């Protein structure tokens, strides 16, 4: 099974400043169809997860453009260009390339 | 608007059974793959099971294989998870989730809590 490793696990940030979360997979997430099935989810306190980014860098409808995803192969990054109060929560990467799907441990973003 | 509403959670004794349901609306249900994902209290996300659009394919996490069964009724836009031989480590919030392909998860429900305790 593919192991997803996120870092850091805790990320205190100053409002208005950038934030970056790393996600590494134990094997390449490039699938035979040419797609890379790496997604990012946000889980605000007391809420269900919500997808932000799919297939590495595609932002979902309604997701602010301060969120961006990048990477390839085994190394991926979620960036928030300027952290807002509503960005507090836990962020998870998830791979769907290899079966079974697997999630990272989560990165808790909080305001300093 | 996509809506996924889970039900059926509760408290059950170890070794017992429980059936979870999820009612979907706002999208073409029979075209979507459907997943169950769980989250133990204070922990991360764990994929549990998948059924494809026409129920011709299902798959399970190793931790639940042989104990859980996923099914769907496209005529009622509903998804189910039959859980048996429940253990304390099955205690979690169970989410129903949709995906246009098996390799994507698009939308999540609000979850239903399963507590396995004597």
pLDDT at B112 > cutoff 90: yes
Q: Which chain B residues are Cβ-neighbours of A97 within 8 angstroms?
A: 103
Interface test with B, best of A39, A100, A105 (most B CBs within 10 A): A100
| A83, A67 contact by CB (below 8 A) | no
Q: pLDDT tens for residues B90-100?
A: 999 999 999 98
pLDDT score, position A111: 96
Query: Which of helix, strand or coil describes residue B67?
Result: coil
Under the banding of pLDDT at 50, 70 and 90, the label for residue B101 is confident
Q: What percent of chain B has pLDDT over 70?
A: 100
Mean pLDDT over B93-117 rounds to 95
Give the residue-averaged pLDDT of B68-79: 98
pLDDT of the residue at B24: 98
pLDDT of B103 reads 86
Query: Chain A within 8 Å of B94 (Cβ-Cβ)?
Result: no
DSSP chain A: ---EEEE-SEEEE-TTS-EEEEEEESS--B-TTS-B-EEEEEE-TTS--EEEEETTTEEPTT--TTEEEEEETTEEEEEESS--GGG-EEEEEEE-SSSSPEE---EEEEE-
Compute the CA torsion angle A110, A86, B39, A9 (nearest 10 deg): -30
Please indicate whether, in this complex, the C-beta atoms of A37 and B104 are within 8 angstroms of each other: yes
Instruction: Considering only the beta carbons, identify the residue of A48, A99, A102 that sits closest to B95.
Output: A48
B contacts of A51 (beta carbons < 8 Å): 105-107
Query: Cα angle at B94 between A80 and A79, to 5 degrees?
Result: 10
Model confidence at A5: pLDDT above 90: yes
**Structure tokens that stand for A79 in this block:** 């960036």
In the three-class reduction of DSSP (H, G, I as helix; E, B as strand; rest coil), residue B63 is classed as coil
Quick: pLDDT tens for B17-54: 999 999 999 999 999 999 999 999 999 999 999 999 99
Which of B35, B19, B34, B22 is closest to B82 using CA atoms? B19
B104 → closest Cβ in A39, A102, A103: A39
| Average pLDDT for chain B | 96
What percent of chain A is modeled with pLDDT above 90? 99
What angle is formed at CA B96 by the lines to CA B59 and CA A7, rounded to 5 degrees? Answer: 85
Question: Closest Cα of chain A to B60: distance in Å?
Answer: 8
Mean pLDDT of chain A, nearest integer: 97
The residues, ordered by sequence, that sit 6+ positions from B74 with a Cβ below 8 Å of its Cβ are B29, B30, B53, B54, B55
Asked if the model's pLDDT at residue B102 lies above 90, the reply is no
Q: What is the pLDDT of residues A63-104, one digit of tens each?
A: 999 999 999 999 999 999 999 999 999 999 999 999 999 999
Residue B64 pLDDT: 98
Which residue from B95, B103, B111 is facing A96, i.e. has the nearest CB? B103
In the predicted model, what is the mean pLDDT of residues A7-14?
98
């Amino acid at each position: 099974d593919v192991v997803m490793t996120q870092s850091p696990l805790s990320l205190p940030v100053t409002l208005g400043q950038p934030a970056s979360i790393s996600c590494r997979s134990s094997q390449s997430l490039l699938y035979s169809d040419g797609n890379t099935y790496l997604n990012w989810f946000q889980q605000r306190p007391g809420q269900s997860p919500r997808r932000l980014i799919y297939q590495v860098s595609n932002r979902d409808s309604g997701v602010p453009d301060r969120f961006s995803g990048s990477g390839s192969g085994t190394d991926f990054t979620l960036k928030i260009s300027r952290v807002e109060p509503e960005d507090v929560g836990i962020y998870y990467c998830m791979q769907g390339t290899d079966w079974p799907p697997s999630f990272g441990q989560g990165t808790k973003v909080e305001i300093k | 608007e996509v809506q996924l509403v889970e039900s059926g959670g509760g408290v059950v004794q170890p070794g017992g059974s429980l059936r979870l349901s999820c009612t979907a609306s706002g999208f073409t249900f029979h075209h979507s793959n459907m997943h169950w994902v769980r989250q133990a209290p204070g922990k991360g996300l764990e994929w549990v099971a998948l059924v494809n659009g026409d129920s011709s394919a299902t798959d399970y996490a190793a931790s639940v294989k042989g104990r859980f069964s996923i099914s769907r009724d496209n005529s009622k836009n509903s998804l189910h998870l039959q859980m048996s031989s429940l253990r304390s480590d099955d205690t979690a919030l169970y989410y129903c989730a949709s995906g246009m392909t098996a390799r994507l998860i698009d939308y999540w429900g609000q979850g239903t809590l399963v507590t396995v305790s004597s």
